[in-house]
Amino acid sequence: MQALTDQELQGFSRLMADAAGIHLPASKKALVSSRLARRLQALGHTSYTQYLEYLRRDASERQQAVDLLTTNETYFFREPRHFAYLAEHIVPAADASRPLRVWSAACSSGEEPYSVAMVLAERMGSRPWEIVASDISTRMLQLARAGVYPMERAQRVPPAYLKAYCLRGVGAQQGRLAVQSWLRERVRFESVNLNGAWPELGRFDLIWLRNVMIYFDAPTKRSLVARLTQSLRPGGHLFIGHSESLGGMEGELQAVQPAVYRRRAGAAT
């Protein structure tokens, strides 16, 4: 099989930009080559150019390529200060007359929305809540719906939560954990391309979109922040990754602590 050329990398970069708003710089050349090599071999292609031509004809294979080239690094209770803010500030102020609605907008394999669900199950009492979780990767959504993970992913889960909301694997499943089925059922998973048309999801009190916008260029990021803002209720919160910044794109959003923004309560709806 021929090595990936700079021109072919540009082709994959254009494909990812069109499909998911993600840009692949030259520094990602080795990553692209290694992640796609097996697909080329499985399909009998001898060059990345052949594979690019195939992707342009086959929508199902394009989704496979997007899945392979999307970074999905996650674990339970990642960036724990966000979960502390949820428990200590957002939950106590929640309007008890309606469900607290949360969107995990790039949920990967599900650890983030299930972590949120554990906090809400413990802290909300009888008050209603809903979680929508979405991702562009069909492979990740399949894993998320199953809710079964290696134990090392749960190192930051509080022991009380592990006991209340997870099952430890035995026998052939030893070394793995499963999220309790009743908690899994509280999370609704959807396939959503953040840079495409969105299904009707409604308004949210809290949106999590962490460690994703670092892959977008400025115009894509600006457009996405504006759309996310409109999906927040006035007074609702947007959580981004601690390595990220909105950098002058705040609009109706005000920073309330690092990586946490609040839509102004008086914002137009």
CATH of the domain at 223: 3.40.50.150
Q: What pLDDT, in 10s, does the model give residues 104-135?
A: 999 999 999 999 999 999 999 999 999 999 99
pLDDT, tens digit, 9 for 90 and up, residues 130-152: 999 999 988 899 999 999 999 98
Cα angle, residue 116 at apex, residues 111 and 122 outer, rounded to 5°: 125
Cβ atoms within 10 Å, residue 241: 17
Domain that holds residue 14: 6-69
Give domain status of residue 75, yes or no. Answer: no
Going by pLDDT thresholds of 50, 70 and 90, the confidence category of residue 227 is: very high
Query: Biggest alpha carbon distance in the chain?
Result: 61
Tell me, yes or no, whether 86 and 58 share the same domain. Answer: no
Instruction: Give yes or no: residues 212 and 142 share one domain.
Output: yes
Position 239 in a domain: yes
Which of the listed residues 39, 69, 99 is the one where a domain comes to its end?
69
Residues 235 and 107 in one domain: yes
Query: Are both 94 and 187 inside the same structural domain?
Result: yes
Average pLDDT, the chain: 92
User: Does 74 map to a domain?
Assistant: no
Q: Is the domain of 48 the same as that of 125?
A: no
State the catalytic residues: 35, 135
Residue 206 has pLDDT above 70, yes or no: yes
At 267 the pLDDT is 60
Is the residue at 155 inside a domain?
yes
Q: Rounded to whole angstroms, how far apart are CA atoms 189 and 153? A: 20
Last residue of a domain, one of 26, 45, 69: 69
Report whether pLDDT(16) > 70.
yes
One domain, residues 28 and 136:
no
Residues 35 and 122 in one domain: no
Report the pLDDT value the prediction gives residue 1, as an integer from 0 to 100. Answer: 75
pLDDT beyond 60 at 63? yes
d(CA 246, CA 185): 33
In a domain, 216, yes or no: yes
- 255: which residues sit within 8 A by CB, 6+ positions away? 246, 261
245-265: average pLDDT: 93
Query: Contact, 67 vs 137, CB < 8 A?
Result: yes
In a domain, 181, yes or no: yes
Give dist(CA 91, CA 265) in Å, integer.
17
Say how many domains are in the chain.
2
